[in-house]
Amino acid sequence: MELRAGATAATSARTDLRADAVVVGAGLGGLLAGVRLARQGRSVVVLERADRPGGRFTAAPMRGAEVSTGALHLIPNGPDGALGRLLRELGVPVRIRPADVFCSVWEDGRHRVCRRGRDVLRLLPPTERRAAPRLAASLLLAHRGSSAEWLLRAVGPEARAYRLWRAFSEFALSLPLDRVTVSEMRRVTLRTIREGLPGVPLGGCRGVITGLVEMLQSHGGRVVLEMEATRISTCRDGSGRAFGRPRVTGVEARHRRTGALLRVTAPLVVSDVGPAATLHLCGLEEDAGSAPRLSTSDPDAGTATGLKIQLLSRTSLVPHRSVMLCLGTERVAGIVQPSNADPRLAPPGRHLVMSHQVLGLETVAQARAAGLRDLRRIFGSALDGAEILASAGFRGPWPVNRAAQGADVLEPPPIAGLHWVGDAHKPGGHIMVEGVAESVRRLRL
């Protein structure tokens, strides 16, 4: 087995290890949990099915740029959000450069920068501006229905406020407004006001993952790459009784290329692979009544979808370190230029630009074509000096997107010694990786 990023290889057909804890999945949540455990003095083994750690929160070099695997090199609430705080608590040396403006808005060929939050009000027509206090009060009082239903009642579909909320939802949450409950939108909004605007970690997503792996190693932890968990082994509490709560005893795994087996015996297992996969590894199925209750009462909540187009531009297309929200476009909801915060994310003299849009029923190719039309409409001839580095869409449940925003599993697993973190376990009001970090912070280990 190859050793990468501190990975440990098995050296025989089956290797047996003992540890204090096993982490299944080396995504952001798994690594955060592994570092937290290792800093408590526990021996930790992290198993990862891919050939590199980080999951959807890392990047790969391409033509001198850091092409992300999922995230936009952004931490939604910057240095004062859940992820920024947890990284500091764990001593991971990652600096997050905060946004320098609140946001900017492109609409009908005009690009306007909002340096402060109240500047957004100036974008609204006088009638909507006067109604803004009433809209804010309505958001605080609303409890049922989708954000789309709430806004349609409050301002109507043609209002600029409606278009602004829609762009924010599609960019930040990867969900159309009708798939976000108004209560979850309220929590997200209040948390953003309280904790702050997006920030870019220096070194991008990969800088965060590298810092976590190095911190894990420095405390004696190990990451085994290309090692897919095949079973979370359990036993019953008590002296062989057929009843009693099951308890984890370790994890069995198989190397994806060589087939070599690994068994790690441990009294504690943390899973970063989602509730359905975790229960399956334990020999349980959700339809057998073993799945915990979802935190949302909305059974129709949809999971996120998205398409990201990454460009390498000769000219700067976004003049700040925040998000450009796009109104009146065919598909694109927002654009960022993370190399403004860290020029090392692009080769010298170039700029890394990323757009994001939700995926509808169209194919990825159709969505990509629509996104490129939007980018041409927004940037015009300035786009002539740009090349497409990558475009990738996601709809399915792996390796993220296991629950819609606000529909996460917050109850503990039905097995003693088993914990879960990451996507699908995010407390309400936390955007994407902020929720992943908060799920780790709330672990009772």
Q: Is there a domain that residue 2 lies in?
A: no
Residues 127 and 272 in one domain: no
Q: Is there a domain that residue 25 lies in?
A: yes
Contact between 51 and 225 (Cβ < 8 Å): yes
Q: How confident is residue 143, by pLDDT bands cut at 50, 70 and 90?
A: confident
Residues 183 and 232 in one domain: no
Interval 353-376 mean pLDDT: 95
Residues 117 and 157 in one domain: yes
Residues 308 and 373 in one domain: yes
Residues 87 and 210 in one domain: yes
pLDDT tens by residue, 212-241: 999 999 999 999 999 999 999 999 765 444
Which range of 71-85, 129-143, 226-240 scores highest in mean pLDDT? It is: 71-85
Q: Helices 82-89 and 433-441 sit at what angle, rounded to 10 degrees?
A: 50
DSSP structure string for 294-317: BS-S-TTPPPP-EEEEEEEESS--
pLDDT at 288: 46
Residues 259 and 327 in one domain: no
Q: What percent of the chain stands above pLDDT 70?
A: 90
Report how far apart the first and last C-alpha atoms of the chain are (Å, whole number).
31
pLDDT tens by residue, 98-118: 999 999 999 999 999 999 999
Interval 11-29 mean pLDDT: 91
Q: How confident is residue 31, by pLDDT bands cut at 50, 70 and 90?
A: very high
> Among 360, 376, 394, where does a domain finish?
394
> What CATH number is given to the structural domain containing 323?
3.90.660.50
pLDDT at 397: 66
pLDDT tens by residue, 370-393: 999 999 999 999 999 899 999 988
Residues 221 and 183 in one domain: no
What pTM value is reported for the model?
0.92
Nearest to 227 by CA among 32, 417, 399, 53: 53
> What CATH number is given to the structural domain containing 28?
3.50.50.60
Contact between 219 and 38 (Cβ < 8 Å): yes
229 lies in which domain range?
Answer: 14-78+83-95+203-296+402-441
pLDDT at 178: 93
Domain count for the chain, please give it. 2
Residues 381 and 421 in one domain: no
Tell me: pLDDT of 247 over 60. Answer: yes
Q: Look at residue 169 and give its three-state secondary structure.
A: helix
Q: Is there a domain that residue 226 lies in?
A: yes
Q: How many alpha carbons fall within 13 Å on the CB side of residue 359?
A: 21
pLDDT at 385: 86
Interval 288-310 mean pLDDT: 62
Q: Name the token pair of 332.
A: 């694109």
Distance CA 213, CA 219 (A): 10
Residues 290 and 366 in one domain: no
Q: How confident is residue 1, by pLDDT bands cut at 50, 70 and 90?
A: very low
Q: Is there a domain that residue 384 lies in?
A: yes
Residues 229 and 364 in one domain: no
Q: Compute and round to an integer the Cα radius of gyration of the chain.
A: 22
Distance CA 292, CA 272 (A): 16
Contact between 65 and 348 (Cβ < 8 Å): no
Residues 108 and 191 in one domain: yes
